[in-house]
Structure 1
């Protein structure tokens, strides 16, 4: 039987509803275009990081939504996210540069201008993110061999890229993209650095060409690059990385039922510095020195990230004795054991997106 309470006519003085996108009763979103670049060596997990972005948005407690501005970008999210969550496999490596464009929509606080009462109001905020997902080998120094280096059985499929030869044209395309970006996500893989020690080799050539492009064509108000930089220590869930954080006293735990561990925000930079110093076969400390010299300190923020997160098990809670979310079979194949619960994947993107012109602290939330 139909509920009669749902069939009452509206009162005569009821306000008119929205008539269209320009209705004055509807608060229009604050729109910001943010070009964000992605930078990292092969195996640093760039493709997996992007594939986990949609899951990270849905796991985030704030009211953010992510969607593509074209079919190609939506197809990427649909296909690659499904690979992680449904098939529990890591996405295939990036072989060619892919232009992706997404919109993140949430809210921000703006001043009301009133002397009394509420001083701020919530208004919708959306910013477009233009990304270029490129193979990690594009960033290689000429001193790096184009042949794939042995992984000693420790290649876990995190967007691992075969180090193919890439043309100067493709490299220049990447540099031009990064030079025009407002912010850059730099992925530092401590597990690869421990094995191969080539983080700086993949970092320096891009940094040199980026600096030349920016200072020659775009310019800067001072002697530093103008971009904001989110430095992400990847694979935080890997036992060797997690143990380093736990033994070093860097951990805090989410105030949620899952009690997921994180590296404390105020110590994330120190954690990155210690990982750079730990490198015995490479020069990762030069990556840190380069960041400190080429970028504004107040425009750099550090994160410890994991695209797949920690294994939670039937209790849906982190446990110290069984936390790795990766299983490896005898034939070398790997799969994701449980739910994908990204850690600090959307946070770097949101931090970059919130950087408003002339405002080093940002105002969005």
Structure 2
């Protein structure tokens, strides 16, 4: 290996003496070569760090997808914790986007999807600048990182998810790095099901929907050579926490806490997982108790997250704060009294960060 040190010409010939009392004449050293020019450092990139990460939002019809998207389109996460994020929708628009924007402007519940929609939204964010201590206790302001990923909206109307192979949804699901699985508790809690089921209309069990969806995704990825568990990072989300019946179920189970004193919430992680499993065990559909088993068998446990969310949140009185007796945020005509989403943006960003941590 070549030495990193330059050979000194005055020492290199010290042994080449023809007369021990008079050393041989040494040639004058030539000029030392100039060091190679160092390239100027590149200017720091401040644009978004875009990657091909795709997260797909998936859930049965009426299970909360449209209101979830409305909360993404209209709001953002806690900026002190997550920084500044926003959704950028296709400029051409669509029936789904038009309805979402109208519902935000008119402060009402979005109407149910009647046309199939598969589109991609760009999610762009920037973390806040951070102050870090450096040498001699000097503080240095580090600019926040800019990030970008894609949220794929797969929103077939009606019961089309029961035949995923015929609706073209398996391709986006197979290609995604992350899945947000929406669980509708109002199709599981007996009191809610009785209140909402129309006479003579069949209730499609949650198990039936998820079982067919997972089997279809299994088959699609097997065609692509997958031989192990499904590779996705998954956020399992119990929706509609603001519904009085759903809230009461969580409260009676001792899982509710106050979010910084503003409104009730169920903490993400183990508490949310416990609530999800409780709903499955107590569901009107006996097979729903097997849903956790289906999810655990197909995805790696370290890639599973659990959340309890609400796309509109509870009504919070500006003066009195949260009042359990006056917390319903939706009035009779479908108008929304106030927008206080719970864990919507946070779920999306947390899932993206868990994917990013393995890249």
Match runs of 1:81-100 below 5 Å: 81-84=101-104, 86-100=106-120
User: Which whole-Å CA distance do the structure 2 matches of 1:240 and 1:135 have between them?
Assistant: 27
- The 1:70–1:84 alpha-carbon spacing in structure 2 relative to 1, beyond 3 Å, is closer
RMSD across aligned C-alpha pairs, in angstroms?
Answer: 3.1
1:129 aligned residue:
150
Runs of 5+ consecutive residues of structure 1 not aligned to the other structure = 1-21, 142-165, 329-333
Give yes or no for contact 2:84–2:128 (8 Å, CA) kept in 1.
Answer: no
Give yes or no for contact 1:234–1:305 (8 Å, CA) kept in 2.
Answer: yes
2:258 aligned residue:
253
Deviation of 1:324 after TM superposition, in Å, equals 1.2
Give yes or no for contact 1:88–1:335 (8 Å, CA) kept in 2.
Answer: yes
- The 1:74–1:348 alpha-carbon spacing in structure 2 relative to 1, beyond 3 Å, is farther
Task: Identify which range, 261-270 or 25-34, moves more after superposition.
Answer: 25-34
Structure 1 residue 49 corresponds to structure 2 residue 79? no
Structure 1 residue 176 corresponds to structure 2 residue 181? no
Match runs of 1:205-220 below 5 Å: 205-217=212-224, 219=226
Offset from partner CA, 1:288-345 (integer Å, 9 cap, x none): 11011111111111111111110123427221211111223xxxxx413411111111
User: Which whole-Å CA distance do the structure 2 matches of 1:316 and 1:350 have between them?
Assistant: 31
Structure 1 residue 242 corresponds to structure 2 residue 264? no
Deviation of 1:260 after TM superposition, in Å, equals 1.2
User: Which whole-Å CA distance do the structure 1 matches of 2:145 and 2:88 have between them?
Assistant: 18
Deviation of 1:230 after TM superposition, in Å, equals 0.7
State the TM-score, normalized to the length of structure 1: 0.73
User: Which whole-Å CA distance do the structure 1 matches of 2:50 and 2:129 have between them?
Assistant: 14
SS at match of 1:355: helix
User: Which whole-Å CA distance do the structure 1 matches of 2:73 and 2:42 have between them?
Assistant: 31
Task: Identify which range, 176-185 or 86-95, moves more after superposition.
Answer: 86-95
Aligned with 2:331 (options 327, 334, 352): 327
State the TM-score, normalized to the length of structure 2: 0.74
SS at match of 1:226: coil
The count of residues paired between Structure 1 and Structure 2 equals 301
- The 1:306–1:130 alpha-carbon spacing in structure 2 relative to 1, beyond 3 Å, is closer
1:275 aligned residue:
279
2:344 aligned residue:
345
1:187 aligned residue:
182
2:211 aligned residue:
204
SS at match of 1:283: helix
User: Which whole-Å CA distance do the structure 2 matches of 1:85 and 1:318 have between them?
Assistant: 25
User: Which whole-Å CA distance do the structure 1 matches of 2:98 and 2:85 have between them?
Assistant: 14
User: Which whole-Å CA distance do the structure 2 matches of 1:124 and 1:107 have between them?
Assistant: 5
Give yes or no for contact 1:43–1:192 (8 Å, CA) kept in 2.
Answer: no
User: Which whole-Å CA distance do the structure 1 matches of 2:94 and 2:321 have between them?
Assistant: 31
User: Which whole-Å CA distance do the structure 1 matches of 2:140 and 2:286 have between them?
Assistant: 53
Deviation of 1:205 after TM superposition, in Å, equals 1.1
User: Which whole-Å CA distance do the structure 2 matches of 1:342 and 1:77 have between them?
Assistant: 19
Give yes or no for contact 1:35–1:181 (8 Å, CA) kept in 2.
Answer: yes
